[in-house]
């Protein structure tokens, strides 16, 4: 039980630290008009064209949070939005060139960090894959608990 509780605490702390790392990098770059959550949203959308509902259903974000952040990113010129021809309630979004630049900056940051972890011998690529597999198993278990417990 202690190991599981430690995992939970680490996952929560790592998420907050990731947001701080992104915030710190953007302050260094002078990119202050978007917050780390919005930046990660741009990163996760990538080259895709999506709806807020799709982001929510993939488990990235909660409804009101994603809607607010998408609206803000459109207003600031990081994303294009287009109402669906078929379902006028549905809006599809995709990154603008400005949004793709931010995504590229995050990609460079994450690449530097991945290289730094391996170079310093903190974790190998194989070790990272082991962590990923364990986290995916935990994710599947939690998803099953949500779907089947009630």
Instruction: With a cut of 70, say whether residue 150 has pLDDT above it.
Output: no
Give me the residue label for tokens 């949004």: 99
Round to whole Å and give the CA distance between 36 and 144.
Answer: 30
The pTM is what?
Answer: 0.86
CA distances from 36 to 32, 84, 85 (A): 10, 28, 32
Q: Could you tell me which residues come within 8 angstroms of residue 57 by beta carbon, excluding any fewer than 6 positions away? A: none
Residues 110, 116, 119, CA angle at the centre, nearest 5°? 145
Q: Give pLDDT tens digits for 97-134.
A: 999 999 999 999 999 999 999 999 999 999 999 999 99
41-99 pLDDT, tens digit each: 999 999 999 887 788 777 666 656 888 899 999 999 999 988 777 776 778 899 999 99
Q: Is there a contact between 78 and 102 (Cβ–Cβ < 8 Å)? A: yes
The token duo for 11 is 């996952």
Please tell me the distance from the alpha carbon of residue 108 to that of residue 44, in angstroms, as a whole number.
Answer: 14
């Amino acid at each position: 039980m202690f190991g599981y509780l430690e995992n939970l605490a680490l996952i929560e702390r790592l998420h907050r630290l990731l947001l701080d790392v992104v915030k710190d990098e953007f302050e260094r770059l002078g990119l202050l008009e978007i917050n780390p959550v919005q930046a990660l949203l741009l990163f996760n959308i990538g080259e895709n064209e999506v709806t807020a509902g799709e982001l929510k259903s993939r488990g990235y974000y909660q409804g009101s949070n994603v809607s607010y952040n998408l609206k803000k990113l459109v207003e600031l010129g990081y994303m294009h939005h287009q109402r669906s021809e078929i379902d006028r309630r549905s809006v599809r979004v995709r990154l603008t060139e400005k949004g793709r630049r931010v995504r590229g900056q995050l990609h460079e940051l994450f690449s530097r960090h991945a290289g730094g972890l391996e170079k310093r011998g903190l974790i190998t690529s194989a070790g990272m894959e082991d962590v990923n597999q364990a986290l995916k198993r935990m994710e599947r278990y939690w998803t099953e608990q949500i779907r089947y417990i009630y």
